[in-house]
Amino acid sequence: MKTWLRELPKVELHLHIEGSLEPELMFALAARNNVSLPYATVDEVRAAYDFSDLQSFLDLYYQGMRVLRTEQDFHDLAMAYFERAQAEGVVHVELSFDPQAHLSRGVELAAPFEGLRRAMRDAERRWGMTTALIMSFLRDRDALDAMDVLEKAAPYYELIDAVGLDSAEMGNPPAKFEAVFERAKALGIPRVAHAGEEGPAAYISEALDVLDICRVDHGVACLQDAALVERLRASQIPLTVCPLSNVRLKVVEQMTDHPLPQIIEQGLKVTLNSDDPAYFGGGVLDNYLACLEAFDWDQAMFKQLAGNAIDVAFMPESRRSELHKRLAAC
Ligand code: ADE
Ligand code: ZN
């Protein structure tokens, strides 16, 4: 079963590329860019990854990404992730990045956009891996700051497959970003948002109502609200669930407590993703394997979840049908 899961053509829809920064690369980039780190060794970095909640993770996540300064850094970061992902059977990656977290350190938009663009091209050339790019806004900053970034990104609109919303959820409801998401919609850019990770089910409803999103990132709080569950079931708006992330950020105590089985039982369109693989104990395959261990799902269930991700990915229809065929042959 484990070999079969590795070979299953998997599509990843929820990955923060800055959260794929492994400690070894963090040290290499720190040396390259003369950035000092509060750690002496790789083991010390890993030992620090003991989170009590989302904010305690975000503090280290923003600290770690200070080593990313140049176009080459973003290229190397993404290539290192794509290489690991393709080795675990991932055939398509939708990566998000946080431009505001770089702009506020004096790293201009060209560095992430050009570096990621080149890595996305290289991955397709080298492994036949396809990719899509999501530009995320930081919800714990002013909405005007997000609007400013959206306008600044104009030279790169053709590169952006969607905009997203991430960072500290509690106290930063979706409605705060109504105008930004309205502007993205007017520009013809699809929209996704984190909702119902640490926040309540009401944030999921609000993101659907106010931001007009086509996917919910996480969404695991949905079971708190029966009307919302019915809405998600009827609309088949997908949830990009990240089970290992939810365990590491104490959204749930352990994998066996995760609401995934109930959410699937309710007929919602669920996908499995890694979120921040360098911080949460593994990539997409590890998330599939953790579900196998906790829930003992059969091949039909994993094929359904992998197929859901193919259904809703930002990819050309020809690629979608090719991946559905490869999945069916498994
Ligand atoms: N940014 C990176 N990972 C995140 C997560 N799990 N939730 C919110 N914002 C994030
Ligand atoms: Zn996330």
Mean pLDDT over 246-256 rounds to: 98
b/e per residue 183-207 (b: at least 16 CB within 10 A) = bbeeeebbbbbbbbbbbbbbbbbbb
Residue 218 near ligand 1, beta carbon < 6 Å: no
Give residue 65's pLDDT.
98
Residue 275 near ligand 1, beta carbon < 6 Å: yes
Paired tokens of 16: 């923060």
CA-proximal residue: ligand 1, atom 6 (nearest): 275
Which ligand is located closest to the Cα atom of residue 57? 1
Paired tokens of 83: 């290489």
Give residue 99's pLDDT.
99
* CA-wise closest residue to 280 among 255, 226, 256, 244: 244
Give residue 69's pLDDT.
98
Q: Could you tell which of 100, 138, 167 is best to mutate to test the pocket of ligand 1, judged by most ligand atoms within 8 Å of the CB? A: 167
Give residue 110's pLDDT.
98
Q: Sorting pLDDT into bands at 50, 70 and 90, what band is 247?
A: very high
Mean pLDDT over 212-216 rounds to: 98
- Distance, C-alpha 310 to centroid of its chain: 15
Mean pLDDT over 280-293 rounds to: 97
Tell me which amino acid residue 163 is: V
Could you tell me the pTM of the whole model? 0.98
Q: Sorting pLDDT into bands at 50, 70 and 90, what band is 261?
A: very high
- Distance, C-alpha 286 to centroid of its chain: 15
Give residue 172's pLDDT.
98
Quick count: other Cβ atoms within 10 Å of Cβ 308?
22
Give residue 252's pLDDT.
98
Q: Side-chain half-sphere of 70: how many Cα atoms within 13 Å?
A: 9
The mean pLDDT value of the chain amounts to 98
Paired tokens of 44: 């010390």
Quick: pLDDT tens for 217-239.
999 999 999 999 999 999 999 99
b/e per residue 60-92 (b: at least 16 CB within 10 A) = bbbebbbbbbbbebbbbbbbbbbebbbebbbbb
CA-proximal residue: ligand 1, atom 4 (nearest): 167
* CA-wise closest residue to 181 among 199, 194, 167, 193: 193
CA of 271 to the centre of ligand 2 (A): 13
Per cent of the chain over pLDDT 70 is 100
Contact 109, 115 (CB under 8 A): no
Residue 16 near ligand 1, beta carbon < 6 Å: yes
β-pair partners for 194: 217
Query: Kind and range of the H or E element at 104?
Result: none
Residue 19 near ligand 1, beta carbon < 6 Å: yes
Residue 61 near ligand 1, beta carbon < 6 Å: yes
Quick count: other Cβ atoms within 10 Å of Cβ 284?
30
Q: Tokens 């013809």 identify what position? A: 188
Interatomic CA distance for residues 146 and 54, integer angstroms: 21
Mean pLDDT over 5-10 rounds to: 98
Which ligand is located closest to the Cα atom of residue 15? 2
CA-proximal residue: ligand 1, atom 8 (nearest): 167
Catalytic center residues: 197
Tell me which amino acid residue 7 is: E
Quick: pLDDT tens for 8-58.
999 999 999 999 999 999 999 999 999 999 999 999 999 999 999 999 999
CA terminus-to-terminus distance, the chain: 12
- Sorted by where each starts, the structural domains of the chain and their CATH numbers stand as 2-328 (3.20.20.140)
CA-proximal residue: ligand 1, atom 9 (nearest): 167
Quick: pLDDT tens for 132-188.
999 999 999 999 999 999 999 999 999 999 999 999 999 999 999 999 999 999 999
Interatomic CA distance for residues 312 and 108, integer angstroms: 31
Residue 166 near ligand 1, beta carbon < 6 Å: yes
